[in-house]
Amino acid sequence: MFCEQCEQTASGNGCHQWGACGKSPQLNAVQDLLVYCLRGLAPVVIKARQLGISTHDEDVFTCESLFATMTNVNFDRKRFTKYVRDCIEKRDNLKAKVKEASPEPVKWTRVSGYHPDFNESLVEQGQDLALGFISESARDVDIFSLKLTVLYGIKGAASYTFHAQELGQEDEQVYEFIQEALDALNHQDFTLDDWVNLALKVGEINLRAMELLDAGHTNTYGHPTPTPVPLNPRKGKAILVSGHDIRQLEAILKQTADKGITVYTHGELLPAHGYPLLKQNYPHLYGHYGTAWQNQTKEFAKFPGAIIVTTNCLMPPHETYDEKLFTIGPVGFAGINYIPAEEGNIPNFSPAIQQSLDMPGFVEEQPPRQVMAGFARNAVLNVADQVIDGVKQGKIRHFFLVGGCDGAKPERNYYTEFVEKVPEDCIVLTLACGKFRFFDQQLGEIGSLPRLMDVGQCNDAYSAIQIALGLAKAFDMDVNQLPLSMILSWYEQKAVAVLLTLLYLGIKDIRLGPTLPAFISPNVFKLLSEKYQLKAITTPDEDLAACLG
């Protein structure tokens, strides 16, 4: 096997024997086969779109399938076999429509004519196809690096697009580009510059995807407002919802209303507490339980109710809690309860609800503890005057956006130490699951502004960008001249998409860690560091001094 799409890739240069995430070589091969089949579907979708044929079903399918291949989403090989079958069926049906509508016969390339043999091992077929793709690295390691960057970036963008469409927010140009980028992977004639431009275009389209998702969230649930979130569980039956999917969280809230069950968020669902209409309509959305994804095996084991995982990051579950664990949507793990979607793409959560009712729930009160959530763009830009005054009066020296993913590597202590060392006249904005290393620290205030503000999930990078652009406008300066430094941590492919968005926007001096992506070749990194001054993190002291210098 060969996979290097995430930060924990083995020895920093690719998982070859077994995935460090728990992915088996067999599963990896079928995921590779699916990506190959999606590359074959893409030219058919592009042609169909040109002929005015609706491709909505194929576009949404493509986004969901790419999402499923991301790190820590789906470990169930059977589900991938089904995705492959559906992909081929959708492609052939669409080809038939194209044939009917096209005035001239269309000649498809080999990738669009490919048919896996479902009577034979898909694993071997996937392995063969993957070998062909990997051999491209021998031809030009930098182009191969950029091809992987594009592939991983569109996986991230596809996951945000998938969430946005669930909330009724779609834009044809996003779907169009995702298909074009998949098709680009079939081409051998693109130059290095073409690939660089395509990678930046992934960033541009991902910005639009995050904007759509932001619109989906804020139109449906209102703009987040600063909200205290209890960290101490309350007595009684409990259900835990993990992942990123706020629409599915709402569906769970609806289905648990009046059942005497308290709903807790886990991981990247913490920011859900900031949405006023969720809080208002569902008083049993109470608090947050646990920290970042890599701690879930310990945290899930102790949770006294059912646990529903709506997206990544799912870890291979421990047998002590597999009975109370449920997955939905693109998420899966062989042998673990999967609740399929029903009407309106919403599952019937009864099995999980019953599981929670059958379990003891929390039996003891615990001393109160809380964190604040909900410092999204409106909340921060509403107090822009105070921010500007603070800066002008020298009370606020600098802003740090310390955001991104968490992970298990000890080097990630850098981020905790960095935040602890940020001087008292500076403000820390944070987002995504990396914040769990410091989210409950009491950093105090500068005037009435908290020194630690949680902007939201990883996709709320859109909100953080709007904050930066809003401040740049208010100060009448370029965003790169703001007293703002970005200290980012990455783990999986959404973070790749977000990084490409920041580069597309021309944001410079980003510090990235805990290690640089293995799929970025030395030459490509040189190019990015020359053009954007992208750099690897060093030590908190050194980086702080450089940012404040």
Binding positions for [4Fe-4S] cluster are 3, 6, 15, 21
The CA-atom distances, in angstroms, between 533 and each of 145, 315, 478, 511 are 19, 34, 16, 9
Three-state secondary-structure class, residue 177: helix
The CA-atom distances, in angstroms, between 503 and each of 10, 307, 313, 337 are 27, 37, 25, 40
432 makes contact, choosing from ligand SF4, ligand FSO, none, with CB < 5 to 8 Å by partner type, with: ligand FSO
Task: Give dist(CA 435, CA 456) in Å, integer.
Answer: 10
- Which of residues 261, 433, 446, 497 is near ligand FSO by CB under 6 A? 433
Specify the stretch interacting with ligand FSO by CB under 6 A; choose among 202-210, 380-388, 488-496, 518-526: 488-496
Three-state secondary-structure class, residue 325: strand
CB 47 within 8 A of CB 99: no
Cβ closest to ligand SF4, residue 21 vs residue 309: 21
Task: Give dist(CA 261, CA 240) in Å, integer.
Answer: 10
Cβ closest to ligand FSO, residue 60 vs residue 73: 73
21 makes contact, choosing from ligand FSO, ligand SF4, none, with CB < 5 to 8 Å by partner type, with: ligand SF4
Q: Which residues bind ligand SF4 (CB under 6 A)?
A: 3-6, 8-9, 15, 19-21, 23, 71
- Which of residues 312, 356, 463, 521 is near ligand FSO by CB under 6 A? 312
Residue 380 is a binding residue for ligand FSO (CB under 6 A): no
Specify the stretch interacting with ligand FSO by CB under 6 A; choose among 138-146, 226-234, 278-286, 486-494: 486-494
Task: Give dist(CA 38, CA 84) in Å, integer.
Answer: 8
53: left (phi over 0), alpha (psi -120 to 50) or beta: beta
Task: Give dist(CA 147, CA 182) in Å, integer.
Answer: 10
- Which of residues 146, 405, 499, 516 is near ligand FSO by CB under 6 A? 405
- Which of residues 214, 245, 268, 543 is near ligand FSO by CB under 6 A? 268
341 CA to centre of own chain:
21
- Which of residues 36, 195, 286, 293 is near ligand FSO by CB under 6 A? 293
Find the shortest distance in angstroms from Cβ 405 to ligand FSO: 4
- Strand 484-489, strand 237-242: pairing: unpaired
- Which of residues 153, 267, 330, 513 is near ligand FSO by CB under 6 A? 267
Specify the stretch interacting with ligand FSO by CB under 6 A; choose among 110-118, 173-181, 202-210, 490-498: 490-498
The CA-atom distances, in angstroms, between 259 and each of 253, 255, 262, 350, 374 are 10, 8, 9, 11, 27
3 makes contact, choosing from ligand FSO, ligand SF4, none, with CB < 5 to 8 Å by partner type, with: ligand SF4
Residue 496 is a binding residue for ligand FSO (CB under 6 A): no
23 makes contact, choosing from ligand FSO, ligand SF4, none, with CB < 5 to 8 Å by partner type, with: ligand SF4
Query: Could you please report the per-residue DSSP string of 296-314?
Result: HHHHHHH-SSEEEE-SS-P
Cβ closest to ligand FSO, residue 198 vs residue 432: 432
Cβ closest to ligand FSO, residue 90 vs residue 155: 155
Which residues belong to the annotated binding site? Answer: 3, 6, 15, 21, 244, 268, 313, 405, 433, 458, 492, 494
Cβ closest to ligand SF4, residue 21 vs residue 261: 21
Task: Give dist(CA 402, CA 511) in Å, integer.
Answer: 10
256: left (phi over 0), alpha (psi -120 to 50) or beta: alpha
Residue 361 C-beta-side C-alpha neighbours within 13 Å: 19
- Strand 227-230, strand 370-373: pairing: antiparallel
Cβ closest to ligand FSO, residue 248 vs residue 457: 457
Residue 299 is a binding residue for ligand FSO (CB under 6 A): no
Residue, CB closest to ligand SF4: 19
192 makes contact, choosing from ligand SF4, ligand FSO, none, with CB < 5 to 8 Å by partner type, with: none
Which residues belong to the annotated binding site for hybrid [4Fe-2O-2S] cluster? Answer: 244, 268, 313, 405, 433, 458, 492, 494
Task: Give dist(CA 438, CA 362) in Å, integer.
Answer: 25
Give which of 548, 549, 447, 429 is closest to 488, Cα–Cα: 429
Q: Which residues contact 20 (CB under 8 A, 6 or more apart)?
A: 8, 9, 10
313 makes contact, choosing from ligand SF4, ligand FSO, none, with CB < 5 to 8 Å by partner type, with: ligand FSO
Q: Which residues contact 437 (CB under 8 A, 6 or more apart)?
A: 292, 406, 412, 413, 415, 416, 419
8 makes contact, choosing from ligand SF4, ligand FSO, none, with CB < 5 to 8 Å by partner type, with: ligand SF4
252 makes contact, choosing from ligand FSO, ligand SF4, none, with CB < 5 to 8 Å by partner type, with: none
Task: Give dist(CA 194, CA 92) in Å, integer.
Answer: 30
Q: Which residues bind ligand FSO (CB under 6 A)?
A: 244, 267-268, 293, 312-313, 405, 432-433, 457-458, 491-492, 494-495
